[in-house]
A and B are shown apart, each in its own frame.
Chain A
Amino acid sequence: MSRSGATSGADDWFVRPARPADYTAACAIVAASALDRPPLLTNEAVFSEAAATGGVYVAAAAANVIGLLGAQPIAYDGEKPYTLWIEVVAVHRSWRRQGIGSALYRALGQWAERVGIQGALTAYPNNPAVNGLHEQVGFVSHRDDLLLWRFDSRPSRSATR
């Protein structure tokens, strides 16, 4: 998937779709970031299902998961995801400020546009770093209580049917 901004050796990282085997590492990242465990990490089965649907990405360095972005559909066009809810974004403390969060969102955005998703929403996080990331990615204020990342593509007939 997306290539990293890192340059060499042990610092190389990359972004890929999450796999069921990432469940434990994803939980660890969330716990280390002092975040509430999101619904998609309720248990391994839920995580596996969410990963199979799409919209869950991890950043990895060697065999280690160092970042997580998880979104789940809140609306569908037929059985295709149509609107996403961003449940969690977290990067391991020692890997922050290297563009990993942006790369995770880039991968999510590419997938979302490919399948014709209309937009992604999330609540305002009480976290300046996450707010900054969302602003950089392209989220804008919406409805007083939400941030919206709108994709240009509407659910086109060719993409969704």
Chain B
Amino acid sequence: MAEHIVGPVAELPPGSHRVVKVRNLEIGVFNVGGEFYALPNICTHQFGPLCAGTVNGTTACDATTEWRFAWVREGEILTCPWHGMEFDITTGRCLANPKVRVRQYPIAVEDGVVKLTL
């Protein structure tokens, strides 16, 4: 696989993300708590610019929240700006339908540089 340099790690601190173009495909690169993830900039819903959306959390109401509505997973959820579809950045899975997921591209840090493999 060919490596593509995204940039220095210092330019992508935890909580930040950027969209890069590799050949003719736009890919969103995310730093979630020091771990990097790369997703296509295309939503599965209406093919909107997924990675131009906001990164935040989501609400949950289950045993982990003692069955109260709670704000969880701050910084791990990407919301498409077009229609609000939410995706787990760490897995690519859609929160509304976990069977649906966007592709994740291999990404790593080497010598202080973020590299995408495509």
Are B1 and A83 touching (Cβ within 8 A)? Answer: no
Check if A76 sits within 8 Å of B101, measured CB to CB: yes
The interface bits of chain B over 94-118 (1 if a CB of A lies within 8 angstroms of the residue's CB, else 0) are 0000011111000000000000001
Q: Count A-side interface residues using an 8 Å CB cutoff.
A: 26
Cross-chain contact A123 with B99 (CB below 8 angstroms): no
Interface SS of chain B: helix, strand, loop or mixed?
loop
* Docked-complex contact A75 and B101, CB < 8 angstroms: yes
Residue A77 interfacial (CB < 8 Å):
yes
Main secondary structure of the interface of A (DSSP, over half): strand
For residues 19 through 40 of chain B, which have their beta carbon under 8 Å from a beta carbon of chain A?
Answer: 23-26, 40
Complex alpha-carbon distance, A145 and B24, angstroms:
10
B98 nearest in chain A by CB position: A78
> Does A102 interact with chain B (Cβ within 8 Å)?
no
Among residues 61 to 102 in chain A, which have CB atoms less than 8 Å away from a CB atom of chain B? 73-78, 82-83, 85
B49 on the A face (CB < 8 A): yes
Bound together, the chains give a CA A151 to CA B101 distance in angstroms of 19
Nearest to B49 among chain A residues (CB) is: A143
Say if the beta carbon of B89 comes within 8 Å of chain A: no
Instruction: A135 to B4: give the CA distance in the assembly, Å.
Output: 31
Given contacts A75-B42, A83-B47, contact A46 B101 (CB under 8 A): no
Of A43, A83, A123, A142, the residue contacting B25 (CB under 8 A) is: A123
> Cβ of B44 < 8 Å from any Cβ of A?
yes
In chain A, positions 33-51 with a C-beta closer than 8 Å to chain B are 36, 38-39, 42-43, 46
Q: A75-B42, A85-B25 are in contact. List 11 more A-B contacts (CB 8 A).
A: A36-B23, A43-B1, A75-B44, A82-B44, A82-B100, A85-B40, A85-B42, A119-B47, A122-B24, A143-B47, A146-B42
Instruction: Report A's interface with B, CB cutoff 8 A.
Output: 36, 38-39, 42-43, 46, 73-78, 82-83, 85, 118-119, 121-123, 125, 142-143, 145-146, 148
Q: Which residues of B contact A (CB under 8 A)?
A: 1-2, 23-26, 40, 42, 44, 47-49, 99-103, 118
